[in-house]
Structure 1
Amino acid sequence: MNPQIIVESVSSILKGKEDVVLKSLVCFLSGGHLLLEDVPGVGKTTLALSLSKVLGLSFARVQFTSDLLPSDILGVSIYDQAKKSFVFKQGPIFHNIILADEINRATPKTQSALLEAMAEGKVTVDGITYELPKPFFVIATQNPLEQYGTFPLPESQLDRFSMRISIGYPDKETEVSILRGENPLEKIDKLTTLVKPHEILSTIQQISRFYVSPDIAKFVVEIVSRTRNHPDIILGVSTRGAMHLINCAKALAYCRGRDFVVPEDVKDLAPYCLVHRMVLRDGVDGQALIKSILEEVPSP
């Protein structure tokens, strides 16, 4: 599995966003889930579709609305007259990659339907537990500006996302080329699948066994400890957050051609793995705060 070729292939559709594509792939290979926080129309759906196509994985998009029910995501048991029993009809969550579009527009009850799936890779319906396909990757989106009719994600759910990133607007030259070219969604059909499912699972398992030195582990613990004692932070990073940062750093090391983590891997991903897990005081810039902490903590 060649991560560079995958990034280049997806970037041919999502032009000028190689770094965003790389971070998305890193999140996927870490075994975690991704939160895209951005305004509409910058390519969130295009990113999710392109990744699924290149990776050769099944894909489903769920538009979250205030009247969406948990059963609309998980599935429902229907009585079969012929069999004289209930038959479970799988919902869209039974795909490899799920795009949970505008997740904060659904009620907390519906949002919580994703918690078990994201944490354990399975869902329970009517007392019966069903395993989800592997790999399983949730890409959730939300608009950071539009708050009317939304239900903000609680800290417990934000903590399930390994990374939060933004795509942002393209630069002017890229935007001109996009406007002069064909619809990016039409180009996705022309993408070639570059990897087989068993290779993906093997790679994810391989990455999970990468070496993390005691010094790197202490480095991460020191970073998250400072978020718990900082005067501008009401709620610091949990142990789960530290684990996700380590897992993502392993995946980034793999994409950079190594089988061990170095401090630069941690530093490059810390703002995207940690900021959304913190509760900040009003007016505090989380990205700048994490960067200042990284400057204060000595590298091993």
Structure 2
Amino acid sequence: MGKKPTAPAPATRLPGTEASPEPRKDPAHVSASPVNPPSKRIEVPRFDVSQIFNGSATTVVTAGTNVPQAGTAGPDEKARKAYFWIVNNAIISPYYDIEFNSARTPVEIKFTGVGSKLTLPTDQSYSSFVLLPLLNFLVRKRALFIGGPGRGKTASALLLGLLAGYSMKEIKQAVQHGQPQMTISDLLGNPLPSDLLKAKQMEEVKIAWRKWIDMRVKIVDEYNRIPTRTQSALLTLLADGYAEILDQVVECGESAWFLTANDDLGGGTYQVIEALKDRLDIVVIALNFNSFFLDDLLFRVESGQKPENLVPKDIIFTPEELDRAYKDILKIPIPNPVLRRLEFFTAQFDFCDLAADILEYKSKDVIRLAGKMLSEVCRNDCGRDKIKNLCSQTQNGISVRGRLTIISFAKALAYFRGNPEVTLEDLRQITPWLLREKLYPNLESPAFQSVPTLTLDRIAWIRKLWDSAMELYEQLDWDHADPLIEIEQEFNQGLDGLSSTEVNRRLGTIENAILKLSKDSKLLAYIYDTVLRFKYFHQRYSNYLKWLEFRG
């Protein structure tokens, strides 16, 4: 995926001679060999009545195994081919910042100065600027490209439209260009003038809806230049999947959204409304161009070739393939040990012991709704180490929408990598990109004093939060020490048929577990969520006991 080294030029060159140009491969070529080997056929004997008589069994392929036919590739393999074609031929992005490692230890090299560190990963790693939009494309979410002008944000979005099977003409016609005069009619459509003259009732007016509303890939360029009122109409379409004009409603199916902006602070002609920013699932950062790849630009200028005109047919998805990929992604399992660690991580941030007296209200949302800043409250002593306790580093917690997005993209990343299930490293790599605009740092936290660059580099900051949470999880041996495990297992067996004696025993077990926690530990963030879970079980059992008493 990196650039092939060329032979060094001779120190001197004879007059009238020229260096031989480096041979270039066809930019429209897609390797015939798969990036990952396809799943092997699993052959099992199928029972047949004839076995009773002749002792034979028919060998068949187990239903549900992923076995592409010769010469074809499944949607996951096509996605991998698309990634490598884009990164090798279309988008010059030599930044492998989504790193994975094999059993071999990665090489780490430290530079003098401020101590910058380079890591050389030992497994297949990826460029976030190419991979993240592709995952967003597969999982039908909403991505925001941010970065300076001319860094390929819109070009990348256009490429995803081409992968969906649209022509360049269709995509360019469908791109919504943010500008200060953009009206709701410009965005969505217009009522037919003849109907406006003839109609006696509103429902008789037909709307000429814009064609882009029905497309599987939707692109909004410079969305922070759209007027506030039009942003509200865009929000309804993006978040709820429908648009409304004069009581007429049109619905758009699930689609992949790509929005662009030159910064992520809501700047531009108009401030971006908070609800619209909150609906964006993932942020893709357009990094600067590496000057030592200038010869690739030179080749494009001299050859007159544009990547968007060379997209191979082999990597273009049909609607059926996109539907299949989406369904397959949703089926990727998250093993319980991985899910428990994700729960532990997401439990670290919303809790604030100083936010309220009532236990259920000890949330940073309560502080915000009271019109206060977290930093004002967090300055007070709460008896906790504000470096070790991650809650001090954020102004807010992770919403339900944020958790759902993490699950979806983790499944998509595992699917893309060809893994049968989500791994812990999938979560570690993808989560920072999903929370970059969801978790807001509390810059007064002492955790930022020792590493001030974390206030600028949110990806590194969130990954450090993840690593700290996982380190704490292992220190606590939470897989075994979590007091919820046995009580939750009992509860999950159901309440039907339990006697009042058994219910009272379980209620006592829960009360003793909470009492033990109160003596052994301060009310830390993960303890807080554990206690509320205990209270939930306690209430369910109490309600059931009341029902038993009512029945007599």
TM-score calculated relative to the size of structure 1: 0.89
1:273 is aligned to 2:349? no
CA distance in 1, matches of 2:297, 2:265: 26
Give the match for residue 260 of structure 1: 421
Shift of 1:89: 1.2
272-281 vs 82-91, greater mean Cα deviation: 82-91
Deviation at 1:29, TM superposition (A): 1.5
1: CA distance, partners of 2:461 / 2:400? 19
Contact 2:231/2:273 (CA < 8 Å) preserved in 1? no
Inter-partner Cα distance in structure 2 for 1:127 and 1:279: 38
Mean Cα deviation higher: 177-186 or 224-233: 177-186
Cα drift, residue 16 of structure 1: 2.7
Which of 458, 465, 471 is the matching residue for 1:293? 465
Per mean C-alpha deviation after superposition, the further-off stretch among 78-87 and 55-64 is: 78-87
Write the distance in 2 (CA, Å) between the matches of 1:31 and 1:227. Answer: 27
Cα pair 2:349 2:398 within 8 Å, conserved:
yes
The Cα offsets for residues 12-59 of structure 1, whole Å up to 9 and x where unpaired, read as 111235622111111222221100111110111211111211231463
Q: Extract unaligned runs of 5+ from structure 2.
A: 1-74, 95-125, 352-390, 444-451, 474-478, 480-552
Query: Comparing 233-242 with 278-287, which one deviates more in the overlay?
Result: 278-287
Where in structure 2 are the equivalents of 1:182-197 lying within 5 Å?
A: 182=301, 186-193=306-313, 194-197=316-319
Q: Which runs of structure 2 are paired with 1:92-131 in the superposition (5 Å)? A: 92-131=212-251
| Deviation of the 1:203 alpha carbon | 1.0
Match of 2:84 in 1: 8
Mapped to 1, the partners of 2:144 and 2:304 lie a distance apart of 22
More strand by share: 1
Q: Which stretch shows the higher mean deviation, 36-45 or 8-17?
A: 8-17
Superposed structure 1 runs of 4+ greater than 6 Å apart? 145-148
Q: Which residue in 1 is equivalent to 2:323?
A: 201
Deviation of the 1:148 alpha carbon: 6.4
Q: Which has the higher contact order (CA 8 A, sep 6+)?
A: 1
Q: Is the 8 A contact 2:300 2:306 kept in 1?
A: no
Q: Mean alpha-carbon deviation: is it higher for 287-296 or for 181-190? A: 181-190
Cα distance in 2, alignment partners of residues 198 and 148 from structure 1: 39
* CA offsets 1:39-84 (integer angstroms, 9 cap, x no match): 1101112111112112314632111122212221121222336986
Cα distance in 1 for residues equivalent to 2:423 and 2:267: 43
Given that 2:223 and 2:259 are in contact with CA atoms closer than 8 Å, whether structure 1 keeps it comes out as yes
Residues 1:242 and 2:398 aligned together: no
Whether the aligned pair in 1 keeps the contact of 2:192 and 2:207 (CA below 8 Å) is yes
Structure 1 residue 146 displacement after superposition: 9.0
CA distance in 2, matches of 1:120, 1:148: 25
Query: Equivalents in 1 of 2:323, 2:92: separation in Å?
Result: 28
- Count how many residue pairs are aligned between Structure 1 and Structure 2: 299
Moved more, 4-13 or 143-152: 143-152
Structure 1: distance between partners of 2:221 and 2:292: 28
Gaps of 5+ in 1: none
**Residues 1:41 and 2:177 aligned together:** no
Cα distance between partner residues in 2 of 1:189 and 1:180? 15
Q: How large is the RMSD of aligned CA atoms in angstroms?
A: 2.6
The correspondence for 1:32, drawn from 141, 151, 156, is 141
Cα distance in structure 1, aligned partners of 2:158 and 2:305: 8
> Percent identity at matched positions?
22
Give how far 1:147 is off. 7.3
Aligned to 2:345: 223
For the 8 Å contact 1:78–1:89, the answer to whether it is kept is yes
1:164 corresponds to which residue? 283
SS in 1 for 2:91: coil
Partner SS state of residue 205, structure 2: strand
